[in-house]
Structure 1
Amino acid sequence: MSTPFLDDVAVLLPAFNAQHDVERTLASFCERAPVRVLIVDDGSLPPVVAPAAANMSIEVLRMARNSGIERALQAGMDALAARGIRYAARIDAGDLATPYRLEKQRAYMEAHPETAVLGMWTHVVDMQGAPLFDLRPPTEPADIRRAMLMRACFTHPSLMLRVDAVIEAGNYRAEYRAAEDLDLILRLMKHHDGANLPEFGVYYELNEHGISATKRRSQVWSTLRLQMKYLRVTNLPDWIGVAKNAAHLVLPYRALRALKTRLLGA
Protein backbone atom coordinates (compact mmCIF):
# COMPACT_ATOMS: atom_id res chain seq x y z
CA MET A 1 0.00 0.00 0.00
CA SER A 2 1.39 3.41 -0.97
CA THR A 3 2.08 6.01 1.69
CA PRO A 4 -0.76 8.59 1.85
CA PHE A 5 -0.10 12.21 0.98
CA LEU A 6 -0.60 14.74 3.80
CA ASP A 7 1.69 17.59 2.73
CA ASP A 8 -1.30 19.86 2.06
CA VAL A 9 -2.98 19.13 5.41
CA ALA A 10 -2.28 20.88 8.71
CA VAL A 11 -3.70 20.31 12.16
CA LEU A 12 -5.04 23.61 13.54
CA LEU A 13 -4.82 23.61 17.32
CA PRO A 14 -5.66 26.75 19.36
CA ALA A 15 -4.36 26.72 22.93
CA PHE A 16 -4.39 28.90 26.02
CA ASN A 17 -2.34 27.87 29.08
CA ALA A 18 -2.62 24.21 28.07
CA GLN A 19 0.91 22.87 27.53
CA HIS A 20 0.19 19.42 28.96
CA ASP A 21 -3.04 19.03 27.01
CA VAL A 22 -1.34 20.16 23.79
CA GLU A 23 1.33 17.49 24.24
CA ARG A 24 -1.26 14.81 25.01
CA THR A 25 -3.39 15.76 22.01
CA LEU A 26 -0.52 15.79 19.52
CA ALA A 27 0.82 12.48 20.85
CA SER A 28 -2.53 10.87 19.98
CA PHE A 29 -2.11 11.32 16.22
CA CYS A 30 -1.19 8.15 14.37
CA GLU A 31 -0.70 8.63 10.64
CA ARG A 32 1.41 6.86 8.01
CA ALA A 33 2.66 10.17 6.57
CA PRO A 34 4.32 13.11 8.36
CA VAL A 35 1.86 15.50 10.00
CA ARG A 36 2.04 19.29 9.91
CA VAL A 37 0.72 21.19 12.94
CA LEU A 38 -0.01 24.84 13.61
CA ILE A 39 -0.49 25.65 17.28
CA VAL A 40 -2.05 29.07 17.83
CA ASP A 41 -0.93 30.19 21.27
CA ASP A 42 -3.63 32.61 22.41
CA GLY A 43 -1.47 34.64 24.80
CA SER A 44 -0.49 31.84 27.19
CA LEU A 45 1.71 32.57 30.21
CA PRO A 46 4.16 30.95 30.03
CA PRO A 47 4.00 30.59 26.23
CA VAL A 48 3.12 27.21 24.75
CA VAL A 49 6.21 25.37 23.49
CA ALA A 50 6.14 23.02 20.52
CA PRO A 51 6.65 19.51 21.91
CA ALA A 52 9.11 17.08 20.38
CA ALA A 53 6.91 14.66 18.46
CA ALA A 54 7.89 11.94 16.03
CA ASN A 55 6.53 12.21 12.50
CA MET A 56 5.42 15.82 13.09
CA SER A 57 6.43 19.28 11.91
CA ILE A 58 5.12 21.74 14.50
CA GLU A 59 4.92 25.52 14.24
CA VAL A 60 3.69 27.86 16.98
CA LEU A 61 1.91 31.09 16.06
CA ARG A 62 1.82 33.40 19.07
CA MET A 63 -0.96 35.92 19.58
CA ALA A 64 0.18 39.18 21.19
CA ARG A 65 -2.46 38.79 23.92
CA ASN A 66 -5.32 36.53 24.84
CA SER A 67 -8.11 37.38 22.38
CA GLY A 68 -10.39 34.34 22.49
CA ILE A 69 -10.73 31.21 20.39
CA GLU A 70 -12.56 33.00 17.59
CA ARG A 71 -9.67 35.35 16.81
CA ALA A 72 -7.09 32.61 17.40
CA LEU A 73 -8.78 30.40 14.80
CA GLN A 74 -9.10 33.34 12.41
CA ALA A 75 -5.37 34.06 12.69
CA GLY A 76 -4.55 30.37 12.31
CA MET A 77 -6.63 29.95 9.18
CA ASP A 78 -5.09 33.08 7.63
CA ALA A 79 -1.64 31.64 8.37
CA LEU A 80 -2.49 28.29 6.77
CA ALA A 81 -3.82 30.02 3.66
CA ALA A 82 -0.61 32.05 3.40
CA ARG A 83 1.40 28.82 3.58
CA GLY A 84 -0.58 27.19 0.79
CA ILE A 85 -2.26 24.57 2.99
CA ARG A 86 -5.40 23.14 1.38
CA TYR A 87 -6.98 21.35 4.33
CA ALA A 88 -7.16 22.38 7.99
CA ALA A 89 -7.90 19.63 10.51
CA ARG A 90 -9.35 21.03 13.73
CA ILE A 91 -8.76 19.64 17.18
CA ASP A 92 -8.67 21.20 20.65
CA ALA A 93 -6.17 20.76 23.45
CA GLY A 94 -7.26 17.79 25.55
CA ASP A 95 -9.03 15.95 22.73
CA LEU A 96 -7.53 12.82 21.17
CA ALA A 97 -7.48 11.69 17.54
CA THR A 98 -8.20 8.17 16.35
CA PRO A 99 -5.67 6.41 14.07
CA TYR A 100 -5.48 7.58 10.45
CA ARG A 101 -8.10 10.28 10.93
CA LEU A 102 -6.29 12.75 8.66
CA GLU A 103 -5.67 10.17 5.95
CA LYS A 104 -9.35 9.17 5.87
CA GLN A 105 -10.65 12.73 5.83
CA ARG A 106 -8.26 13.92 3.14
CA ALA A 107 -9.19 10.99 0.91
CA TYR A 108 -12.87 11.91 1.20
CA MET A 109 -12.23 15.60 0.53
CA GLU A 110 -10.18 14.76 -2.56
CA ALA A 111 -12.97 12.54 -3.87
CA HIS A 112 -15.70 15.10 -3.07
CA PRO A 113 -14.51 18.56 -4.16
CA GLU A 114 -17.97 20.00 -3.48
CA THR A 115 -17.47 19.30 0.25
CA ALA A 116 -15.95 22.14 2.29
CA VAL A 117 -16.53 20.81 5.81
CA LEU A 118 -16.12 17.18 6.85
CA GLY A 119 -16.65 15.85 10.35
CA MET A 120 -16.53 12.43 11.98
CA TRP A 121 -18.45 10.67 14.72
CA THR A 122 -17.24 11.38 18.25
CA HIS A 123 -16.61 9.54 21.50
CA VAL A 124 -17.41 11.92 24.39
CA VAL A 125 -15.37 11.21 27.52
CA ASP A 126 -14.90 12.83 30.91
CA MET A 127 -11.65 14.46 32.04
CA GLN A 128 -10.34 11.08 33.22
CA GLY A 129 -11.02 9.52 29.82
CA ALA A 130 -14.03 7.49 30.93
CA PRO A 131 -16.72 7.12 28.22
CA LEU A 132 -19.89 9.19 28.63
CA PHE A 133 -21.72 8.86 25.32
CA ASP A 134 -21.17 8.81 21.56
CA LEU A 135 -22.25 11.38 18.97
CA ARG A 136 -23.35 10.00 15.61
CA PRO A 137 -24.65 12.99 13.62
CA PRO A 138 -26.06 12.53 10.11
CA THR A 139 -23.51 11.78 7.42
CA GLU A 140 -25.12 12.82 4.12
CA PRO A 141 -25.22 16.47 2.97
CA ALA A 142 -29.01 16.48 2.41
CA ASP A 143 -29.72 15.12 5.90
CA ILE A 144 -27.31 17.62 7.44
CA ARG A 145 -28.95 20.55 5.63
CA ARG A 146 -32.37 19.54 6.90
CA ALA A 147 -31.25 19.12 10.52
CA MET A 148 -28.46 21.71 10.83
CA LEU A 149 -30.53 24.16 12.92
CA MET A 150 -32.16 21.44 15.01
CA ARG A 151 -29.10 19.65 16.37
CA ALA A 152 -25.33 19.78 16.37
CA CYS A 153 -24.52 18.11 13.05
CA PHE A 154 -20.76 18.48 13.52
CA THR A 155 -18.28 18.12 16.36
CA HIS A 156 -15.93 21.06 15.88
CA PRO A 157 -12.69 19.26 16.94
CA SER A 158 -13.40 16.52 14.38
CA LEU A 159 -13.60 18.83 11.37
CA MET A 160 -11.47 18.98 8.26
CA LEU A 161 -12.03 22.26 6.40
CA ARG A 162 -11.18 23.31 2.87
CA VAL A 163 -8.99 26.36 3.54
CA ASP A 164 -9.77 28.33 0.38
CA ALA A 165 -13.52 27.91 0.96
CA VAL A 166 -13.14 29.14 4.55
CA ILE A 167 -11.28 32.25 3.45
CA GLU A 168 -13.80 32.90 0.67
CA ALA A 169 -16.66 32.59 3.18
CA GLY A 170 -15.07 35.20 5.47
CA ASN A 171 -13.06 32.98 7.83
CA TYR A 172 -13.86 32.48 11.50
CA ARG A 173 -15.46 35.56 13.09
CA ALA A 174 -15.95 36.92 16.60
CA GLU A 175 -19.48 38.13 15.82
CA TYR A 176 -21.10 35.04 17.37
CA ARG A 177 -19.17 34.41 20.57
CA ALA A 178 -18.72 30.75 21.54
CA ALA A 179 -20.63 29.67 18.39
CA GLU A 180 -17.90 30.51 15.88
CA ASP A 181 -18.01 26.99 14.48
CA LEU A 182 -21.74 27.05 13.68
CA ASP A 183 -21.42 30.54 12.18
CA LEU A 184 -18.66 29.37 9.84
CA ILE A 185 -20.40 26.12 8.90
CA LEU A 186 -23.65 27.87 8.00
CA ARG A 187 -21.78 30.31 5.77
CA LEU A 188 -19.82 27.49 4.13
CA MET A 189 -22.95 25.51 3.41
CA LYS A 190 -24.47 28.34 1.40
CA HIS A 191 -22.25 27.30 -1.50
CA HIS A 192 -20.70 23.96 -0.48
CA ASP A 193 -21.65 20.62 1.01
CA GLY A 194 -20.97 19.37 4.51
CA ALA A 195 -20.68 15.70 5.45
CA ASN A 196 -19.59 13.35 8.25
CA LEU A 197 -17.62 10.14 7.87
CA PRO A 198 -19.62 7.34 9.55
CA GLU A 199 -16.78 6.33 11.85
CA PHE A 200 -15.20 7.71 15.00
CA GLY A 201 -12.44 10.29 14.57
CA VAL A 202 -11.96 11.95 17.95
CA TYR A 203 -12.28 11.49 21.68
CA TYR A 204 -13.87 14.75 22.83
CA GLU A 205 -13.12 15.69 26.42
CA LEU A 206 -16.17 17.13 28.18
CA ASN A 207 -14.52 19.74 30.36
CA GLU A 208 -16.66 21.58 32.92
CA HIS A 209 -14.24 24.49 32.61
CA GLY A 210 -14.47 24.55 28.81
CA ILE A 211 -16.35 26.95 26.56
CA SER A 212 -19.57 24.94 26.48
CA ALA A 213 -19.83 25.27 30.26
CA THR A 214 -18.17 28.57 31.18
CA LYS A 215 -19.57 30.54 28.22
CA ARG A 216 -22.78 28.58 27.94
CA ARG A 217 -25.15 31.54 28.04
CA SER A 218 -23.19 33.40 25.35
CA GLN A 219 -23.13 30.25 23.26
CA VAL A 220 -26.89 29.77 23.57
CA TRP A 221 -27.65 33.38 22.64
CA SER A 222 -25.24 33.26 19.70
CA THR A 223 -26.82 30.03 18.49
CA LEU A 224 -30.32 31.50 18.80
CA ARG A 225 -29.26 34.51 16.73
CA LEU A 226 -27.88 32.21 14.05
CA GLN A 227 -31.00 30.05 14.11
CA MET A 228 -33.22 33.08 13.57
CA LYS A 229 -30.95 34.41 10.82
CA TYR A 230 -31.03 31.14 8.86
CA LEU A 231 -34.53 29.98 9.86
CA ARG A 232 -36.51 28.28 7.08
CA VAL A 233 -40.14 28.79 8.01
CA THR A 234 -41.34 25.65 6.21
CA ASN A 235 -38.69 23.37 7.73
CA LEU A 236 -40.08 21.91 10.98
CA PRO A 237 -36.66 20.82 12.35
CA ASP A 238 -35.58 24.50 12.37
CA TRP A 239 -38.43 25.37 14.75
CA ILE A 240 -37.65 22.35 16.93
CA GLY A 241 -34.05 23.57 17.14
CA VAL A 242 -35.12 27.02 18.28
CA ALA A 243 -37.34 25.50 20.99
CA LYS A 244 -34.58 23.16 22.17
CA ASN A 245 -32.04 25.96 22.33
CA ALA A 246 -34.43 28.23 24.23
CA ALA A 247 -34.75 25.46 26.84
CA HIS A 248 -30.99 25.70 27.39
CA LEU A 249 -31.53 29.19 28.80
CA VAL A 250 -33.58 27.85 31.70
CA LEU A 251 -32.13 24.40 32.39
CA PRO A 252 -28.87 24.15 34.40
CA TYR A 253 -25.78 22.90 32.55
CA ARG A 254 -25.31 19.92 34.88
CA ALA A 255 -28.92 18.85 34.41
CA LEU A 256 -28.56 18.97 30.62
CA ARG A 257 -25.29 17.04 30.76
CA ALA A 258 -26.88 14.35 32.97
CA LEU A 259 -29.86 14.09 30.63
CA LYS A 260 -27.67 13.77 27.55
CA THR A 261 -25.50 11.13 29.23
CA ARG A 262 -28.59 9.14 30.22
CA LEU A 263 -30.12 9.31 26.75
CA LEU A 264 -26.95 8.72 24.71
CA GLY A 265 -24.76 6.74 27.08
CA ALA A 266 -24.27 3.03 26.72
Structure 2
Amino acid sequence: MTPTTPAQLLTLDDVAVLIPVFNAQHDLDRTLASFCERAPVRVLIVDDGSLPPIVAPTVANLVIEVLRMPRNGGIELALQTGVAALAERGVKYAARIDAGDLATPYRLEKQREYMETHPQTAALGMWTHVVSMEGAPLFDLRPPTEPAAIRRVMLLRSCFSHPSMMLRVTAVIEAGNYRAQYRAAEDLDLFLRLMQRHDCANLPEFGVYYELNEHGISATKRRTQTLSTLRLQLKYMRLTNLPDWLGVAKNIAHLMLPSGAVRALKTRLFHA
Protein backbone atom coordinates (compact mmCIF):
# COMPACT_ATOMS: atom_id res chain seq x y z
CA MET A 1 0.00 0.00 0.00
CA THR A 2 1.09 3.56 -0.68
CA PRO A 3 1.58 5.37 2.64
CA THR A 4 -0.87 8.18 3.33
CA THR A 5 0.82 11.58 3.51
CA PRO A 6 -0.25 14.48 5.72
CA ALA A 7 -1.20 16.43 2.59
CA GLN A 8 -3.62 13.69 1.60
CA LEU A 9 -5.19 13.78 5.04
CA LEU A 10 -5.50 17.56 4.99
CA THR A 11 -8.98 19.05 4.82
CA LEU A 12 -10.47 22.50 5.14
CA ASP A 13 -14.05 21.29 4.70
CA ASP A 14 -15.15 22.80 8.02
CA VAL A 15 -13.50 26.19 7.39
CA ALA A 16 -14.94 29.17 5.53
CA VAL A 17 -13.28 32.49 4.79
CA LEU A 18 -15.63 35.32 5.78
CA ILE A 19 -15.25 38.62 3.89
CA PRO A 20 -17.64 41.58 4.25
CA VAL A 21 -17.36 43.84 1.20
CA PHE A 22 -18.75 47.21 0.18
CA ASN A 23 -17.86 48.56 -3.27
CA ALA A 24 -14.38 47.01 -3.37
CA GLN A 25 -14.46 44.51 -6.22
CA HIS A 26 -10.85 45.00 -7.30
CA ASP A 27 -9.50 44.73 -3.75
CA LEU A 28 -11.64 41.63 -3.17
CA ASP A 29 -10.25 39.94 -6.29
CA ARG A 30 -6.66 40.55 -5.12
CA THR A 31 -7.43 39.21 -1.66
CA LEU A 32 -9.02 36.00 -2.89
CA ALA A 33 -6.19 35.39 -5.35
CA SER A 34 -3.70 35.54 -2.46
CA PHE A 35 -4.92 32.35 -0.77
CA CYS A 36 -2.53 29.45 -1.18
CA GLU A 37 -3.70 26.26 0.52
CA ARG A 38 -3.28 22.53 -0.14
CA ALA A 39 -7.01 21.82 0.11
CA PRO A 40 -10.05 23.54 -1.45
CA VAL A 41 -11.09 26.73 0.35
CA ARG A 42 -14.68 27.77 0.96
CA VAL A 43 -15.44 31.50 0.90
CA LEU A 44 -18.52 33.46 1.99
CA ILE A 45 -18.61 37.04 0.71
CA VAL A 46 -21.16 39.29 2.41
CA ASP A 47 -21.96 42.03 -0.12
CA ASP A 48 -22.99 44.94 2.09
CA GLY A 49 -25.23 46.67 -0.47
CA SER A 50 -22.56 47.34 -3.11
CA LEU A 51 -23.52 49.19 -6.31
CA PRO A 52 -22.90 47.55 -8.68
CA PRO A 53 -23.28 44.26 -6.79
CA ILE A 54 -20.13 42.27 -6.02
CA VAL A 55 -19.37 39.50 -8.50
CA ALA A 56 -17.67 36.31 -7.31
CA PRO A 57 -14.42 35.91 -9.27
CA THR A 58 -13.24 32.56 -10.54
CA VAL A 59 -10.19 31.56 -8.47
CA ALA A 60 -8.52 28.16 -8.58
CA ASN A 61 -9.09 26.06 -5.44
CA LEU A 62 -11.77 28.44 -4.08
CA VAL A 63 -15.50 27.70 -3.79
CA ILE A 64 -17.15 31.11 -3.47
CA GLU A 65 -20.64 32.07 -2.33
CA VAL A 66 -21.98 35.64 -2.30
CA LEU A 67 -24.59 36.62 0.27
CA ARG A 68 -26.17 39.94 -0.70
CA MET A 69 -27.48 42.40 1.88
CA PRO A 70 -30.55 44.41 0.74
CA ARG A 71 -28.84 47.68 1.65
CA ASN A 72 -25.61 48.96 3.18
CA GLY A 73 -25.86 48.35 6.92
CA GLY A 74 -22.23 48.58 8.03
CA ILE A 75 -19.54 46.04 8.80
CA GLU A 76 -21.04 45.07 12.15
CA LEU A 77 -24.30 43.86 10.59
CA ALA A 78 -22.48 42.27 7.64
CA LEU A 79 -20.27 40.22 9.97
CA GLN A 80 -23.22 39.28 12.18
CA THR A 81 -25.15 38.09 9.12
CA GLY A 82 -22.13 36.20 7.79
CA VAL A 83 -21.45 34.32 11.03
CA ALA A 84 -25.13 33.42 11.37
CA ALA A 85 -25.12 32.09 7.80
CA LEU A 86 -22.03 29.98 8.44
CA ALA A 87 -23.61 28.56 11.60
CA GLU A 88 -26.70 27.58 9.59
CA ARG A 89 -24.43 25.85 7.06
CA GLY A 90 -22.67 23.86 9.78
CA VAL A 91 -19.28 25.55 9.31
CA LYS A 92 -16.99 25.04 12.31
CA TYR A 93 -14.39 27.78 11.74
CA ALA A 94 -14.74 31.25 10.21
CA ALA A 95 -11.49 32.77 8.92
CA ARG A 96 -11.59 36.55 8.68
CA ILE A 97 -9.90 38.75 6.12
CA ASP A 98 -10.84 42.06 4.52
CA ALA A 99 -10.81 43.15 0.89
CA GLY A 100 -7.36 44.57 0.12
CA ASP A 101 -5.49 42.38 2.61
CA LEU A 102 -3.40 39.41 1.48
CA ALA A 103 -3.06 35.99 3.10
CA THR A 104 0.26 34.23 3.60
CA PRO A 105 0.66 30.63 2.30
CA TYR A 106 -1.06 27.87 4.31
CA ARG A 107 -2.49 30.31 6.83
CA LEU A 108 -5.80 28.44 7.09
CA GLU A 109 -4.11 25.06 7.41
CA LYS A 110 -1.93 26.26 10.29
CA GLN A 111 -4.79 27.92 12.15
CA ARG A 112 -7.16 24.99 11.77
CA GLU A 113 -4.53 22.57 13.08
CA TYR A 114 -4.09 24.71 16.21
CA MET A 115 -7.83 25.08 16.76
CA GLU A 116 -8.37 21.34 16.42
CA THR A 117 -5.72 20.60 19.06
CA HIS A 118 -6.81 23.44 21.39
CA PRO A 119 -10.58 23.04 21.77
CA GLN A 120 -10.71 25.65 24.53
CA THR A 121 -9.56 28.32 22.05
CA ALA A 122 -12.39 30.34 20.51
CA ALA A 123 -10.33 32.80 18.46
CA LEU A 124 -6.86 32.50 16.96
CA GLY A 125 -4.96 35.30 15.29
CA MET A 126 -1.56 35.60 13.65
CA TRP A 127 1.13 38.25 13.42
CA THR A 128 0.64 40.90 10.74
CA HIS A 129 2.71 42.74 8.16
CA VAL A 130 1.28 46.27 7.81
CA VAL A 131 1.83 47.69 4.33
CA SER A 132 0.85 50.80 2.39
CA MET A 133 -1.77 50.72 -0.35
CA GLU A 134 1.13 50.36 -2.78
CA GLY A 135 2.40 47.30 -0.89
CA ALA A 136 5.40 48.99 0.72
CA PRO A 137 6.23 47.63 4.20
CA LEU A 138 5.40 50.01 7.05
CA PHE A 139 5.71 48.00 10.27
CA ASP A 140 4.94 44.59 11.76
CA LEU A 141 2.51 43.71 14.53
CA ARG A 142 3.68 40.95 16.89
CA PRO A 143 1.11 40.85 19.71
CA PRO A 144 1.34 38.35 22.59
CA THR A 145 0.64 34.74 21.67
CA GLU A 146 -0.35 33.01 24.91
CA PRO A 147 -3.86 33.44 26.41
CA ALA A 148 -2.55 34.49 29.85
CA ALA A 149 -0.36 37.24 28.41
CA ILE A 150 -3.21 38.43 26.19
CA ARG A 151 -5.60 38.64 29.14
CA ARG A 152 -3.15 40.80 31.08
CA VAL A 153 -2.77 43.46 28.36
CA MET A 154 -6.07 43.06 26.50
CA LEU A 155 -7.21 46.58 27.43
CA LEU A 156 -3.80 48.20 26.89
CA ARG A 157 -3.02 47.26 23.31
CA SER A 158 -4.61 45.64 20.33
CA CYS A 159 -3.84 41.96 20.85
CA PHE A 160 -5.53 40.73 17.68
CA SER A 161 -5.37 41.68 14.02
CA HIS A 162 -8.99 41.20 12.98
CA PRO A 163 -8.25 40.19 9.34
CA SER A 164 -5.95 37.42 10.61
CA MET A 165 -8.47 35.75 12.92
CA MET A 166 -9.96 32.28 12.82
CA LEU A 167 -13.10 31.99 14.95
CA ARG A 168 -14.91 28.99 16.39
CA VAL A 169 -18.41 29.64 15.04
CA THR A 170 -20.35 27.98 17.86
CA ALA A 171 -18.46 30.02 20.47
CA VAL A 172 -19.16 33.25 18.59
CA ILE A 173 -22.87 32.46 18.38
CA GLU A 174 -23.01 31.53 22.08
CA ALA A 175 -21.28 34.81 22.98
CA GLY A 176 -23.91 36.81 21.10
CA ASN A 177 -22.23 37.13 17.68
CA TYR A 178 -20.91 40.41 16.31
CA ARG A 179 -23.06 43.38 17.27
CA ALA A 180 -23.36 47.09 16.56
CA GLN A 181 -23.38 48.25 20.19
CA TYR A 182 -19.74 49.38 19.94
CA ARG A 183 -19.41 50.92 16.47
CA ALA A 184 -16.07 50.44 14.70
CA ALA A 185 -14.85 48.30 17.63
CA GLU A 186 -17.05 45.27 16.95
CA ASP A 187 -14.02 42.98 16.94
CA LEU A 188 -12.75 44.03 20.39
CA ASP A 189 -16.29 43.76 21.76
CA LEU A 190 -16.52 40.18 20.48
CA PHE A 191 -13.07 39.12 21.71
CA LEU A 192 -13.67 40.48 25.20
CA ARG A 193 -16.93 38.52 25.43
CA LEU A 194 -15.25 35.38 24.12
CA MET A 195 -12.51 35.67 26.73
CA GLN A 196 -15.10 35.46 29.50
CA ARG A 197 -15.47 31.72 28.80
CA HIS A 198 -12.72 30.73 26.36
CA ASP A 199 -9.08 31.24 25.48
CA CYS A 200 -7.96 33.50 22.65
CA ALA A 201 -4.45 33.19 21.25
CA ASN A 202 -2.08 34.14 18.41
CA LEU A 203 0.21 31.97 16.34
CA PRO A 204 3.76 33.40 16.38
CA GLU A 205 3.83 33.48 12.58
CA PHE A 206 2.80 36.07 10.01
CA GLY A 207 -0.60 35.31 8.51
CA VAL A 208 -1.68 38.43 6.65
CA TYR A 209 -0.47 41.55 4.87
CA TYR A 210 -2.75 44.26 6.24
CA GLU A 211 -3.26 47.21 3.92
CA LEU A 212 -3.26 50.52 5.80
CA ASN A 213 -6.04 52.28 3.92
CA GLU A 214 -6.58 56.00 4.54
CA HIS A 215 -10.24 55.46 3.65
CA GLY A 216 -10.68 52.41 5.90
CA ILE A 217 -12.73 52.21 9.08
CA SER A 218 -9.77 52.80 11.40
CA ALA A 219 -9.05 56.08 9.62
CA THR A 220 -12.47 57.44 8.69
CA LYS A 221 -14.17 56.43 11.95
CA ARG A 222 -11.18 56.96 14.22
CA ARG A 223 -13.04 58.99 16.86
CA THR A 224 -15.99 56.60 16.88
CA GLN A 225 -13.63 53.63 17.21
CA THR A 226 -11.66 55.26 20.02
CA LEU A 227 -14.80 56.17 21.96
CA SER A 228 -16.19 52.65 21.54
CA THR A 229 -12.88 51.19 22.71
CA LEU A 230 -12.86 53.51 25.73
CA ARG A 231 -16.39 52.37 26.66
CA LEU A 232 -15.27 48.75 26.47
CA GLN A 233 -12.18 49.48 28.56
CA LEU A 234 -14.29 51.03 31.29
CA LYS A 235 -16.74 48.12 31.18
CA TYR A 236 -14.08 45.43 31.55
CA MET A 237 -11.54 47.39 33.61
CA ARG A 238 -9.77 45.55 36.45
CA LEU A 239 -8.82 48.09 39.09
CA THR A 240 -5.74 46.17 40.24
CA ASN A 241 -4.35 45.61 36.75
CA LEU A 242 -1.99 48.47 35.78
CA PRO A 243 -2.14 47.82 31.99
CA ASP A 244 -5.89 48.50 32.09
CA TRP A 245 -5.27 52.00 33.48
CA LEU A 246 -2.55 52.62 30.89
CA GLY A 247 -4.94 51.57 28.13
CA VAL A 248 -7.54 54.10 29.24
CA ALA A 249 -4.91 56.84 29.35
CA LYS A 250 -3.68 55.88 25.87
CA ASN A 251 -7.14 56.16 24.35
CA ILE A 252 -7.77 59.52 25.98
CA ALA A 253 -4.52 60.66 24.35
CA HIS A 254 -5.77 59.30 21.00
CA LEU A 255 -8.82 61.52 21.31
CA MET A 256 -6.62 64.56 21.83
CA LEU A 257 -3.93 63.91 19.20
CA PRO A 258 -4.41 64.37 15.43
CA SER A 259 -4.54 61.12 13.41
CA GLY A 260 -1.28 61.92 11.60
CA ALA A 261 0.60 62.13 14.88
CA VAL A 262 -0.85 58.81 16.08
CA ARG A 263 0.10 57.08 12.82
CA ALA A 264 3.65 58.46 12.92
CA LEU A 265 4.04 57.27 16.52
CA LYS A 266 2.80 53.76 15.65
CA THR A 267 5.17 53.56 12.70
CA ARG A 268 8.12 54.57 14.91
CA LEU A 269 7.18 52.12 17.67
CA PHE A 270 6.44 49.08 15.51
CA HIS A 271 8.72 49.51 12.51
CA ALA A 272 10.82 46.40 12.00
Give the TM-score normalised by the residue count of structure 1: 0.99
Residue identity opposite 2:237 in structure 1: L
Residue identity opposite 1:150 in structure 2: L
Residue identity opposite 1:211 in structure 2: I
Give the secondary structure class of the aligned counterpart of 1:248. Answer: helix
Give the secondary structure class of the aligned counterpart of 1:120. Answer: strand
Structure 1: segments with no counterpart, 5+ residues:
none
Q: Distance in 1 between matches of 2:270 and 2:15?
A: 32
2:9 maps to 1:2: no
Question: Which residue of 122, 132, 147 maps to 1:126?
Answer: 132
Q: Distance in 1 between matches of 2:222 and 2:269?
A: 21
Runs ≥4 in structure 1, deviation > 6 angstroms?
Answer: none
Residue identity opposite 2:71 in structure 1: R
Question: Which residue of 258, 267, 270 maps to 1:252?
Answer: 258
Q: Distance in 2 between matches of 1:263 and 1:218?
A: 24
Displacement of 1:254 = 1.1
| CA RMSD after TM alignment | 0.5
Q: Distance in 1 between matches of 2:32 and 2:189?
A: 27
2:171 maps to 1:157: no
User: Which digits, 9 at most, give the CA deviation of each residue in 1:62-106, with x for residues without a partner?
Assistant: 000000000000000000000000000000000000000000000
Q: Distance in 2 between matches of 1:262 and 1:232?
A: 29
Question: Which residue of 188, 198, 202 maps to 1:192?
Answer: 198
Q: Distance in 2 between matches of 1:235 and 1:261?
A: 27
Structure 2: segments with no counterpart, 5+ residues:
none
Give the secondary structure class of the aligned counterpart of 1:249. Answer: helix
Displacement of 1:264 = 1.4
Q: Distance in 1 between matches of 2:269 and 2:15?
A: 36
Task: Write out aligned runs for 1:76-115 (5 A).
Answer: 76-115=82-121
Q: Distance in 2 between matches of 1:254 and 1:82?
A: 43
Displacement of 1:2 = 2.4
Number of residue-to-residue matches in the alignment = 266
More off after superposition, 195-204 vs 256-265: 256-265
Task: Write out aligned runs for 1:60-71 (5 A).
Answer: 60-71=66-77
Give the secondary structure class of the aligned counterpart of 2:63. Answer: strand
2:251 maps to 1:239: no
Give the TM-score normalised by the residue count of structure 2: 0.97
Residue identity opposite 2:235 in structure 1: K
Residue identity opposite 1:2 in structure 2: P
Q: Distance in 1 between matches of 2:24 and 2:266?
A: 27
Aligned residue number for residue 80 of structure 2: 74
Task: Write out aligned runs for 1:3-42 (5 A).
Answer: 3=7, 4-42=10-48
Question: Which residue of 51, 61, 64 maps to 2:57?
Answer: 51
Percent sequence identity over aligned pairs: 79
Residue identity opposite 2:70 in structure 1: A
Aligned residue number for residue 229 of structure 1: 235
Displacement of 1:165 = 0.2
Q: Distance in 2 between matches of 1:46 and 1:111?
A: 42
Question: Which residue of 149, 154, 159 maps to 1:148?
Answer: 154
